[in-house]
Amino acid sequence: MSWLKMWQRTQSSTVIWMSRFLRRKTLWSINQKTQMRLISLRRSSPVPKLLPQSNPKLATSVGAQYLLMYMAGQLLKKSRRSPGSQVYRSSNEATESLWDTSTGRNIFRATMSLQTFQMITRVLRFHNRDTKAKSDKLAPIRDVWEGWVKRLSLMFNPGPEVTVDERFVPFRGRCPFRQYMPSKPGKYGIKIWAVCDAKTSFAWNLQIYTGKPASGIPEKNQGKRVVLDMTFGLRGHNITCANFFTSYDLGQELLRRKLTMVGTIRKNKPELPIEILQVKDRAPLSSKFAFTDTTTIVSYCPKKNQNVILMSTFHKGTAVSSGSDKKPIIILDYNKNKGGVDNLDKLTATYTCQRMTRRWPMVVFYNILDVSAYNAFVLWTHIHLGWNSTKKHKRRLFLEELGNCLVKAHIQRRERVPRDPAAAALVRQLQSSPSAPSARRRVSAAVSSSASPASESTSTAEATASLRPPDSKRKRCQVCPSNKDRKTNTSCFHCRKYLCKEHTESVSFCPTCI
């Protein structure tokens, strides 16, 4: 049975589990890159329609609090029921309908305006164009992706059975490593190698396939390389994989790492004996075995002139089930554990925040949110075994609670209520709770809080602004000529240069949006 690190048992909030995967340092980095993109859009000519100069609210920088609210909105969209449906599942519903006063939900309008949500979707960035390498296909989101993947294996120790397979995220836009797989529902998309716990489908390790290397030479023994890279750090587990990965050399290398392997194997492998490949004159439901000191191969004939071949370094005997199909135990164990990654795809597709977009980094970011939310759900249910144990839709309840916890702190800090009566009633209800801050604290938090990665101990649900507060010490403006001798205590949030009023972008809020 899968188990968790003992220190994790002290946590109790759904937000804490989500923040284990998306750290504040990662969000702070995304916030920086997004603001750089927003500044470039504001200085472009003509100014995009989504960023009108007459609207100071949308002309301001995107603070960390709005980034958290954007993520919360995506999570709440995952659990929203489609209009006219009794099943809570995600759909390709228009974003405008989520904020509609008749078909939408009050919590969306109480959190932020539709225009703000669309603006963040447009300007959200994960890298700096000036520093990315031209040969790196994954550069637009590599830093965020690799930092997030490193967190996955730290949070969960998989059970004895582990599955290695490929995931496929549908996407038809432009992408330097987009794959065409006609057997998949979407046919076009992004391929991701995945290692999951066979029982819970917890995503333990992921790797995006970026196509051929820069040299243009196809990679040899790719399946072996993928399994060895993805399972690095595991010990004492049994690896279940498909025929793309399985080979005799892989099985021997895994044994040296104290790992075993079970998987189907392609019939063109040179290590297979001729007797295993032959199907002529073989009776249906018959099995034929071949052995070495460390490996077992079985050929099973489900029908006449058909056979299925599996290789295992875990099984040693010729055991066959007592059922009518007389399947070998190797096949039964393979069928039991082969669906770990496929089940993850199914579960994340049931409640997903994926929406139509032409930008492949956004597709990857949406997938990060989907997998993080599911992994957090696995951790939560492992710790709180009795949580909603009688209900069948526990995951939807978890997503709703997670999204509500993320937006609650922001709604409680709002100084003015929205114009919509239903959304305004929700804001007043949350602000009247004992945990809500006072009016003075709401104004102070909205103006002077900072999105620094150093404050790791604070909760992720606490919203923070992006502007750096003025320093107590005044220094000369570092943009003006020295002969002007302009003293100021305001500095740039990104490079920390001291700036006078002439070289500072002003930020304004109306009473409704503060």
Provide the CA 50 distance to its chain's centre, in angstroms. Answer: 27
What's the mean pLDDT in 459-476? 50
Judged on CB neighbours under 10 Å (0-12, 13-18, 19+), 9 is exposed
- Cα 89 from Cα 104, distance rounded (Å): 15
What's the mean pLDDT in 368-382? 91
The answer to whether 370 touches 170, Cβ cutoff 8 Å, is: no
Contacts of residue 485, Cβ cutoff 8 Å, sequence gap at least 6: 476
pLDDT for the residue numbered 429 = 80
> pLDDT-derived band of residue 467, with 50, 70 and 90 as boundaries?
very low
DSSP state of 290: E
Judged on CB neighbours under 10 Å (0-12, 13-18, 19+), 75 is buried
- Mapped onto helix, strand or coil, the DSSP state of residue 491 is strand
pLDDT for the residue numbered 41 = 76
Q: How many CB atoms lie within 10 A of CB 326?
A: 14
- Cα 189 from Cα 509, distance rounded (Å): 41
**Torsions phi, psi of 170, nearest 5?**
-60, 135
Comparison of pLDDT for 267 and 59, the residue scoring more: 267
pLDDT for the residue numbered 24 = 75
User: pLDDT tens across 15-29, in order?
Assistant: 666 667 777 788 888
The answer to whether 165 touches 337, Cβ cutoff 8 Å, is: no
Question: Residue 403: which of 28, 36, 90, 9 has the closest Cα?
Answer: 90
Contacts of residue 474, Cβ cutoff 8 Å, sequence gap at least 6: 487, 488, 489
Question: Residue 259: which of 195, 308, 319 has the closest Cα?
Answer: 195
Cα three-residue angle 216-222-223, rounded to 5 degrees: 160
Tell me the sheet residues that pair with 161. 238
User: pLDDT tens across 124-171, in order?
Assistant: 888 887 776 777 899 999 999 999 999 999 889 999 999 999 999 999
The answer to whether residue 481 scores a pLDDT higher than 80 is yes
Dihedral-angle region of residue 305 (phi above 0 means left; psi in -120 to 50 means alpha; beta otherwise): left
C-alpha torsion 61→62→65→66, nearest 10:
140
The answer to whether residue 512 scores a pLDDT higher than 80 is no
**Torsions phi, psi of 168, nearest 5?**
-140, 115
The answer to whether 441 touches 140, Cβ cutoff 8 Å, is: no
DSSP state of 320: B
- Cα 69 from Cα 84, distance rounded (Å): 27
Distances (CA, A) of 213 to 176, 177, 222: 12, 11, 12
* pTM of structure: 0.78
Question: Residue 402: which of 7, 44, 20 has the closest Cα?
Answer: 20
Distances (CA, A) of 423 to 157, 228, 241, 249, 339: 42, 52, 50, 62, 43
Comparison of pLDDT for 217 and 416, the residue scoring more: 217
- Mapped onto helix, strand or coil, the DSSP state of residue 339 is coil
